[in-house]
Structure 1
């Protein structure tokens, strides 16, 4: 009798653990999304080891995810590069303007590239740039960015591939160090992905 009760209790326990195990596995894969390679983002420089002392972002540059709605909502000023994720706070540290940069030519054509580890139905990709005279030694805020994105790619809910390329034109009249802030708006969730790329014109 005891043996039967033990078997039944064990069976119930195993059946109860299966959904939990599946939810853990699903949550793990759901955290994989995307990052910018061209221009190279802070997150990707951390993955490559070019930038050090990055914390956990070095293992998951694709996971910089936060509430969408930028610029009216979304991550708070000073936390834009980390999307407000506490463990990714090293991305918000301006490092006194010493992050590695990608060299670009103002006003030239350029192809922006994302690597997606889990593509999502997408509203748009948008690219912003810092204003002339911005302070590269301070955490990024909305006031430091041009109000309008210089490139917007509307997707209307389509799901992109694992490598996404967006040909565009870089803003004219830029020189020296700047930052390109990329926003990937997801169509079927309340979130977006954010990437900060330091560049030199």
Structure 2
């Protein structure tokens, strides 16, 4: 069975005001698809947690079976920015530093928040801020946060296709009044169809700014990605599982350097092995990245990777799959 499918669902993080994970990714993204941060706080996060969180900046999530949207008592003090993630080690983003990339804002102004939809899930977004007088030289705790969100949005509108840096939910919201100086905006995205919840810290300065970002090596809008295509084919089946091959193609007139294919596993599906690419999983999200030897795709060129799966329903073609090249 052969099927070419639409962009995948996955997860997300604040683009405006940018989360630590996103802005560290943006700080380090190179023309070859590598992520090499220049910011010292981002470098310290990599030294502690490795590079995997940079490539999965949208996956600061936790689904430990608690009620969706868990905060105090669910995420421990000192681990707010990592969400105490049980996907990857994001603990480096809990580190104390004055040098995190920062977004400059005006207290009381209305801005358009943008939250990347590497996933298209129903749910509610809640935004909190640190209290006046919080001490940024100490690990962030719940006692540092205002307990009531300054804004919430349920199932807001969105633009773009999931699985892209350029796709996002958006809503207009007034910023807290009478704020000045350095603060953290804390985002909680609680899915309504799952206990899975996503968390993020956005470092901001209330100094009369209009969304300018400092502390990163690049300026201007977030980097864009170039689309590639992914075609998923089941090549063999057996009771409780099967084997598949995914063909990655560069449809553009320019050479692409590196590719990433993502899709959401059907309920109960498990990937047992993969080859010709690097597999990572975060909950139901499966991601395969190019190997060193097959990362360069000439114009019109293609390559393949393979995998084996197990499921009580047998081999299953995903309902959606996405491909992008930096």
Cα displacement (A) at 1:80: 1.0
Scaled by the length of structure 1, the TM-score of the pair is: 0.77
Native 8 Å contact 1:126 1:153 kept in 2? yes
The 10-residue stretch of structure 1 (138-147 or 45-54) with the greater mean CA deviation from structure 2: 45-54
The 10-residue stretch of structure 1 (48-57 or 174-183) with the greater mean CA deviation from structure 2: 48-57
Structure-2 separation of matches of 1:185 and 1:160: 16
Once the two structures are superposed, residues 82-127 of structure 1 have per-residue CA deviations (whole angstroms, 9 ceiling, x without a partner) of 01126110110022x22111000001111110111121122x1000
Bigger RCO of structures 1 and 2 (CA < 8 A, at least 6 apart): 1
Q: 1:93 aligns with which of 95, 120, 126?
A: 95
Q: 1:192 aligns with which of 191, 197, 202?
A: 197
Once the two structures are superposed, residues 48-91 of structure 1 have per-residue CA deviations (whole angstroms, 9 ceiling, x without a partner) of 12543233221111100014333344321111110112611011
Write 1 or 2 for the structure with the bigger share of strand: 2
Native 8 Å contact 2:17 2:113 kept in 1? yes
Native 8 Å contact 2:157 2:170 kept in 1? no
Please state whether the residue corresponding to 1:152 is helix, strand or coil. Answer: strand
Structure-1 separation of matches of 2:78 and 2:195: 21
Q: Which runs of 5+ in 1 are unaligned?
A: 1-28
Q: Which runs of 5+ in 2 are unaligned?
A: 1-7, 29-36, 160-166, 207-326
Native 8 Å contact 1:119 1:160 kept in 2? no
Scaled by the length of structure 2, the TM-score of the pair is: 0.48
Write 1 or 2 for the structure with the bigger share of helix: 1
